[in-house]
Structure 1
Amino acid sequence: MIETARLRLRWWRDADRDAHAALCADPEVMADLGGPRDRAGSERRFDSYLAALEAFGFARWSVEDQSGNFLGYVGVMPRRGEHPLGDHDEIGWRLNRHAWGHGYALEAAGAALDDVYRRIGLPEVIAYTAPDNYRSQAVIRRLGMRRDAVRDFTVPSDTGGQWRGLVWVAPPP
């Protein structure tokens, strides 16, 4: 578990599945990924976090406030297999709508980056986001990440069509 001034990042429990599914079903929260995921899609994503944690020792964390209220997730996911960027480690976050605008993504992402650089010893962590996801881009800039436009990519989206990712690199501490 990681504790910050206002947040607790902890590994997932089976009891978190419903809260994760509700997060993934929210059209506004999922707009930058082409729309909400159904329960089966949420379950696949949830299971991927558990598998990554077991295989690599890091993954997305469940994020809650100090009272234990679920806010969303943040963390570094190992991306292996077929991807335009090849094997890499990517930081990302997704918070419930009511948690937006409070600096939680920045606070939790900073703690997650510090963890994988110090505890795991990763050589590099990247972030990518859609060109119109200005909220995430603001968090990325506040994290001190540097733009690496050479690595920008396009992939098929989960909902059909194409998704374009703009890439940034996180500086080690």
Structure 2
Amino acid sequence: MKTLAVVLVLFCANSFAEPLKDFEALVSQCRQSFENRSVVEVDFVERNKNWVKRVWSPMKSTYDVKRTDSLVSPFSAFLELTDSAAFGTAPDALAANDLDVPADGKGIMQIRRLDFAYQDRAWVLTGGRSSIAFRRVAGGPFVPDGYTDLTRDQVLKGTGPIARCFSLGR
């Protein structure tokens, strides 16, 4: 009886090891995508009709993998990415480029929670949620400004580092 219990424990531990290792590889790929982006960006924002200089802080991430009772999706996981940037605006690109943008100045923070299911020995993005917050006063707190539920397709059709997180898995 003890041999059967040991075999079952080893089987359960091994059955969790591969999905966990695969998910950690996905998390690593996503982190690398954010680390590879330019820390400073200067872009024209059409909706505001001005130039914006963004200085990105390092992205923070957390994740969790859990066993489920489902035969189709024996594991589920989430990856939460917290991304923030201080910014300044100017009427033209040269002026925007010359802006001194302090890290605690006006800013934007986006938190994306991405949900996954382990199916047919692979992690499948199932959807997620994106929330945004603004720091409207230098040195002040970030104030939440709403959230959007995301479908899998919305995440995969995104641009920037979030899209590159999954470019190998499309």
**TM-score scaled by length of structure 2:** 0.29
**TM-score scaled by length of structure 1:** 0.29
Identify the structure with the greater strand proportion: 2
Structure (1 or 2) with the larger CA radius of gyration: 2
